[in-house]
């Protein structure tokens, strides 16, 4: 293992280095906190052993900095404190250290502590890998569902836009023919001025036009023309909107913290999942004005999606889903209520567990609510559920604004 030692006092430093090297570790040495941070970034050691008191940046600040900035992997941090100073040790643990050693230390103690660090690092790494796989498989499951829904949503307007275009092109042929007849009429009128005997030809042409207009029902075409164009516009707007909303979902990995409007997030989520819910649920919205909140907007959209889709699945025939937002004591509170089948008492405690599902094999992975729970936790919020079998369910999400 590679171990970084941050220690300004040379005797302790050399002693520690020797011990660790004897146990087969690679040791990097820093003589103060700032140097330690630089070497940490450069060498990415698995373990950091840092003294408490150091010039420049002390051990506590170093510890906090590592915890704040090196989030992609687990770094095991041991704080070295002066003899019998328990308060220092506690402060160190609170700043994010995993363990502490009291000076002077014995080789056996160092050996034991480093061995336990190896165990913890291994566990943390396994956990990271497992949760990554979990999120990945959830993503794959919902991507499939989403893709099917979106394809359907886009297919609908595409269908009527292309059928409207076909009708419009039939109308266009009739109108061109009509214009052609009017042109002929003009010519005949001109001729009749030069030669009054041609008057009958004018009347004949007028009759022809009248018959043709009746045949194609020009009055109807006139009305229908603008309404077909309006429908095409609406259809294209609908497709445009789906594509824009979908973009919000497209790169969840690159989601960054930013100020976002929760109402807008719910609105765009509803647009994306409309196909999944519209057959068995009417969605009612009761939004209050909310401040922008600092959050991961795409991840919150994922939460709303998972809960609203669950609500729709809980409704067998035709039901209602009410999504409400409120600002209560500087918390944004979102409630999602359905009048579906409800949750059995004995299952309420399990619904946030990964892989808990009551759906048929292949229908649910049982990850939707677990993913939602973790996302809300990351926002320092809470997610609660109230449910009564046969009556319905209400999820309440509270996020600090």
Ligand X SMILES: Nc1ncnc2c1ncn2[C@@H]1O[C@H](COP(=O)(O)OP(=O)(O)OP(=O)(O)O)[C@@H](O)[C@H]1O
Applying CB under 6 A, the residues found at the interface with ligand X are 141, 306, 310-311, 314, 338, 340-343, 351, 356-359, 364-370, 393
Q: From ligand X, Mg ion, none, which one binds at residue 119 (CB under 5 to 8 Å depending on kind)?
A: none
Smallest gap, in angstroms, from Cβ of residue 272 to Mg ion? 15
Structure tokens of 330?
Answer: 């500087």
Smallest gap, in angstroms, from Cβ of residue 337 to ligand X? 9
**Burial degree of 331 (CB within 10 A; 0-12, 13-18, 19+):** middle
Smallest gap, in angstroms, from Cβ of residue 376 to ligand X? 13
Q: From Mg ion, ligand X, none, which one binds at residue 252 (CB under 5 to 8 Å depending on kind)?
A: none
Distance CA 131, CA 121 (A): 15
Nearer to ligand X, 250 or 391 (CB): 391
Nearer to ligand X, 164 or 302 (CB): 302
**Burial degree of 361 (CB within 10 A; 0-12, 13-18, 19+):** exposed
Structure tokens of 147?
Answer: 């893709």
Q: From Mg ion, ligand X, none, which one binds at residue 311 (CB under 5 to 8 Å depending on kind)?
A: ligand X
Q: From ligand X, Mg ion, none, which one binds at residue 322 (CB under 5 to 8 Å depending on kind)?
A: none
Nearer to ligand X, 39 or 146 (CB): 146
Nearer to ligand X, 85 or 358 (CB): 358
Distance CA 19, CA 105 (A): 10
- 137 Cβ contact list (under 8 Å, min separation 6): 365, 367
Structure tokens of 53?
Answer: 């008191």
Which residues bind to Mg ion, rule: CB under 5 A? 310, 368
Distance CA 310, CA 369 (A): 9
Phi–psi pair at 81, nearest 5 degrees: -120, 165
Smallest gap, in angstroms, from Cβ of residue 156 to Mg ion? 24
Q: From ligand X, Mg ion, none, which one binds at residue 74 (CB under 5 to 8 Å depending on kind)?
A: none
């Amino acid at each position: 293992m590679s171990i970084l030692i941050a220690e300004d006092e040379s005797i302790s430093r050399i002693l520690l280095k020797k011990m660790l090297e004897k146990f087969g570790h690679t040791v990097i040495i820093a003589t103060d906190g700032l140097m330690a941070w630089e070497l940490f970034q450069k060498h990415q050691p698995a373990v950091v052993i840092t003294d408490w008191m150091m010039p420049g940046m002390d051990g506590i600040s170093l510890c906090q900095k590592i915890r704040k900035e090196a989030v992609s992997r687990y770094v095991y941090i041991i704080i070295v404190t002066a003899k019998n100073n328990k308060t220092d040790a506690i402060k160190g643990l609170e700043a994010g250290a995993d363990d502490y050693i009291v000076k002077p230390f014995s080789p056996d103690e160092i050996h034991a502590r480093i061995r336990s660090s190896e165990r913890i690092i291994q566990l943390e790494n396994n956990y990271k890998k497992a949760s990554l796989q979990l999120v990945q498989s959830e993503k794959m499951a919902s991507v499939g569902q989403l893709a099917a829904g979106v394809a359907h949503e886009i297919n609908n307007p595409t269908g009527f836009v292309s059928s409207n275009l076909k009708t419009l092109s039939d109308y266009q042929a009739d109108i061109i023919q009509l214009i052609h007849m009017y042109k002929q009429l003009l010519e005949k009128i001109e001729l009749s001025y030069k030669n009054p005997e041609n008057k009958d030809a004018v009347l004949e042409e007028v009759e022809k036009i009248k018959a043709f207009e009746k045949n194609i029902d020009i009055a109807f075409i006139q009305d229908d023309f603008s309404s077909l164009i309006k429908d095409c516009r609406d259809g294209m707007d609908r497709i445009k909107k789906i594509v824009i909303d979908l973009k919000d979902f497209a790169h969840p990995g690159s989601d960054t913290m930013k100020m976002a409007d929760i109402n807008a997030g719910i609105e765009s989520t509803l647009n994306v999942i409309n196909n999944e819910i519209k057959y068995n649920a009417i969605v009612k919205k009761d939004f209050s004005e909310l401040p922008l909140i600092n959050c991961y907007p795409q991840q919150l959209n994922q939460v709303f999606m998972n809960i609203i889709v669950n609500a729709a699945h809980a409704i067998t025939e035709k039901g209602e889903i009410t999504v409400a937002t409120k600002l209560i004591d500087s918390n944004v509170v979102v409630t999602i209520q359905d009048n579906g089948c409800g949750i059995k008492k004995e299952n309420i405690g399990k619904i946030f567990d990964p892989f808990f599902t009551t759906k048929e094999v292949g229908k649910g992975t049982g990850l939707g609510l677990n993913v939602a729970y973790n996302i809300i936790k990351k926002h320092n919020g809470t997610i609660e559920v109230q449910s009564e079998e046969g009556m319905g369910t209400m999820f309440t999400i509270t996020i600090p604004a």
